């Protein structure tokens, strides 16, 4: 009989909130967070109710501004930008470094907020915070040559990012943008992360970083955060539908942009025999329930290897650990070691379950379906946002699971007989961020990999977004605008020589680094 679990001491949402009030009283109130604009914390915006995906309990919701107030915030950010861009680099560097020290001091609280707001297991929540801090330190230490011959943009950088990596993607980008001489604006993701971002921005604002943090609907704030003439660059991370609208706007306006969009990242298996290596990597591919832009939800498998693939895959996927990220047997036990907790909300969980059911009804073959009995939950807790791992063979072409990224713990497998079919199946979404081809023969990899439409292609190993010097982008519809990572992130948010062509995927050209 499984032991009865309890919440780890000191990790409740009220505990986290009390710590926020103590650390940053200027940004938090008893019942809400504030927006940050015009160098001040503003008690404006209509606060929407929100619940934690972890257990459905109430947490802080975003204080949504209207379009008019958002435009005032953008105008104020332009004033900040004009002052900040003339600050000596050494002063900017010192302020960013001080911000990193403050983030490191409050690492545990930032991670705990990520657990409650977006359902990250403790290990992955800490990693998100650490990657932000360590990644920006790399830029602080080596920024001079990256800025040689370059100048800040004419206006602030507007950041609109998804909810899944508030620290290592959004805060990381904002601090590098500021280090390069720009004021920065961020819209809090609608689906989660508002308290974590508020705390991070409070720590940055104390050090004099020109940061603006606002909440609101994308449609209502788009005129200010995307189209406003004051904006020097738009940085977007999210889905293709919203990204397409942003791309149209920035292209029409000739505005600098970095638009990271989703794609169906695929893992191909062709003339392969190193099954132990594959078995070892499968659980890692489920980190955070595959709610990552670089997750691999699709395996494309050579038909005559299918039995060997299943023998390697199924034992690995059966080891996945799912449950409440803070549930322990004894209150002072270490944090549980989980592969993932909930998906972002109950609505997303229902969408995934409905898509799986519909795909099976239309002919997909269920190869693996875990049950809630295998998960770690508190007695009587709300589990509406949890989805157990599922693997389907041959989803029908009418199913979204056939051509789109599910953004949840759902794997699909497609069988192929020829190299042409392999490549077609791996390129099903017209561009992706990452892909991997497992094949024993290096010559085969070298011949096929250039035809896989992904920015990064691994040989038998997963690729990631990367940190520090590693570049990042996408091919096809998975990316629009300048590529980032390493010095390219700095180049994307600064002005270089007249007529400079940035590496990226633009309507008029594509230039690979």
pLDDT tens digits, one per residue of 392-423: 999 999 999 998 899 999 999 999 999 999 99
Q: Residues near 397 by Cβ (< 8 Å), separated by ≥ 6?
A: 403
3-state secondary structure of 365: strand
* CB 69, CB 44: distance < 8 Å: yes
**What angle (nearest 5°) sits at the alpha carbon of residue 326, between those of residues 323 and 329?**
85
The tens digit of pLDDT for each residue in 96-149 reads 999 999 999 999 999 999 999 999 999 999 999 999 999 999 999 999 999 999
Judge residue 421's burial from the number of C-beta atoms within 10 Å of its C-beta, 0-12 exposed, 13-18 middle, 19 or more buried: middle
pLDDT at 455: 96
CATH fit for domain 14-262+478-511, picks 3.40.605.10, 3.40.50.1370, 3.40.470.10, 2.60.120.260: 3.40.605.10
3-state secondary structure of 13: helix
Do β-strands 390-393 and 410-416 pair in parallel, antiparallel, or remain unpaired? parallel
pLDDT at 241: 77
* CB 502, CB 484: distance < 8 Å: no
Give the dihedral of Cα atoms 463, 465, 468, 471; nearest 10 deg: 80
Alpha-carbon span 234 to 226, nearest angstrom: 6
Residue ranges of domains in the chain: 14-262+478-511, 266-459
The CATH fold of domain 266-459: Aldehyde Dehydrogenase; Chain A, domain 2 (3.40.309)
pLDDT at 331: 96
Assessment of whether the complete model's pTM goes beyond 0.85:
yes
Q: Where are the alpha helices (DSSP H) in 286-392?
A: 306-317, 346-361
* CB 246, CB 226: distance < 8 Å: yes
* CB 133, CB 110: distance < 8 Å: no
DSSP code of 402? H
Alpha-carbon span 445 to 462, nearest angstrom: 14
Alpha-carbon span 100 to 85, nearest angstrom: 20
List per-block mean pLDDT (blocks of 10 residues) for the chain, which spans 513 residues. 89 98 97 97 94 98 96 98 97 98 98 98 98 98 97 97 94 98 96 97 98 93 93 91 80 88 94 98 97 96 98 97 97 96 98 98 97 91 97 95 94 98 95 97 98 97 90 92 96 96 92 90
CA–CA distance from 259 to each of 432, 471, 479, 491 (Å)? 13, 15, 6, 15
């Amino acid at each position: 009989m499984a032991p009865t679990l309890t919440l780890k001491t000191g990790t409740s949402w009220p505990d986290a909130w009390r710590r926020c009030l103590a650390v940053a009283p200027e940004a938090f109130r008893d019942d809400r967070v504030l927006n940050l604009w015009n160098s001040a914390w503003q008690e404006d915006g209509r606060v929407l109710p929100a619940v934690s995906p972890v257990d459905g309990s109430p947490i802080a919701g975003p204080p949504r501004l209207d379009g008019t107030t958002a435009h005032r915030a953008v105008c104020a950010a332009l004033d900040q930008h004009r002052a900040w861009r003339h600050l000596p680099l050494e002063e900017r560097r010192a302020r960013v470094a001080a911000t990193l020290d403050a983030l490191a001091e409050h690492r545990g609280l930032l991670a705990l907020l990520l657990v409650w707001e977006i359902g990250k297991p403790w290990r992955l929540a800490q990693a998100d915070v650490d990657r932000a801090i360590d990644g920006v330190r790399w830029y602080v230490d080596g920024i001079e040559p990256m800025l040689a011959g370059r100048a800040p943009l004419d206006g602030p950088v507007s950041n609109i990012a998804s909810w899944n990596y508030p620290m290592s993607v959004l805060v990381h980008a904002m601090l590098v943008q500021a280090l390069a001489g720009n004021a920065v604006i961020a819209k809090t993701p609608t689906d989660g992360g508002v308290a974590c971002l508020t705390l991070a921005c409070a720590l940055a604002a104390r050090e004099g970083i020109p940061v603006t943090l606002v909440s609101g609907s994308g449609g209502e704030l788009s005129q200010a955060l995307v189209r406003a003439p004051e904006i020097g660059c738009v940085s977007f991370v999210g889905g293709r539908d919203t990204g397409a609208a942003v791309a149209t706007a920035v292209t029409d306006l000739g505005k600098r942009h970095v638009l990271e969009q989703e794609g169906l990242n695929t893992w191909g298996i062709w003339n392969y025999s190193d099954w132990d290596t594959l078995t070892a990597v499968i659980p890692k591919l489920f980190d955070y329930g595959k709610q990552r832009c670089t997750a691999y939800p699709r395996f494309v498998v050579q038909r005559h290897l299918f039995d060997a693939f299943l023998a390697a895959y199924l034992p690995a996927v059966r080891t996945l650990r799912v449950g409440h990220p803070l549930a322990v047997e004894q209150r002072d036990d270490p944090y549980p070691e989980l592969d993932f907790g909930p998906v972002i909300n109950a609505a997303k969980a229902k969408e995934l379950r409905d898509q799986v059911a519909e795909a099976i009804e239309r002919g997909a073959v269920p190869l693996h379906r875990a049950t809630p009995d295998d998960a770690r939950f508190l007695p009587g807790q709300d589990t509406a946002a949890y989805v157990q791992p599922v693997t389907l063979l041959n989803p029908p072409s009418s199913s979204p699971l056939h051509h789109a990224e599910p953004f949840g713990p759902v794997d699909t497998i497609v069988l192929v007989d020829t190299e042409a079919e392999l490549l077609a199946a791996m390129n099903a979404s017209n561009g992706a961020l990452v892909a991997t081809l497992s094949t024993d023969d290096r010559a085969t990899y070298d011949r096929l990999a250039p035809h896989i439409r992904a920015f990064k292609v691994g040989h038998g190993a997963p690729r990631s977004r990367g940190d520090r010097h590693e570049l990042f982008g996408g091919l096809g519809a998975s990316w629009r605008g300048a590529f980032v990572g390493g010095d390219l992130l700095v180049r994307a948010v600064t002005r270089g020589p007249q007529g400079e062509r940035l590496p990226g995927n633009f309507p008029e050209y594509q230039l690979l680094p």
